Amino acid sequence: PGKCYEMTDNGNNSSVHWDMVCIQRPEYGGGEIIFDGEVIRKDGMFIPKDLQKLNPAYLLGKTR
């Protein structure tokens, strides 16, 4: 489960695959992800313009 596909071998030979989920919506207490001093996600929404297409409204086709 944790090993990469043979055709795309990247050296990952782990037998463990771990998805980490971080719910940061306000109803769950909110939160921020800060990368190199820049807030990239706040209360479950991506802030920088180049990441905003990862927000739910865009992915669900509501802001295209």
CA torsion sign for 14, 12, 40, 58 is negative
Give the H/E segment covering residue 33.
Answer: strand 32-35
Tell whether 10 is covered by a domain: no
Please report, as a single letter, which amino acid is at residue 28: Y
pLDDT at 64: 66
Per-residue confidence (pLDDT) for residue 37, from 0 to 100 = 97
In a domain, 11, yes or no: no
Q: What is the pLDDT of residue 5?
A: 76
Given a contact cutoff of 8 angstroms between Cβ atoms, the answer to whether 11 and 17 are in contact is no
Residues of the chain with pLDDT under 70: 1-2, 64
Give a yes or no: residue 35 inside a domain.
Answer: yes
The total number of structural domains in the chain stands at 1
Domain extent at residue 48: 21-64
The closest of 13, 45, 11, 10 to 2, measured between CA atoms, is: 13
* 32 located within any domain: yes
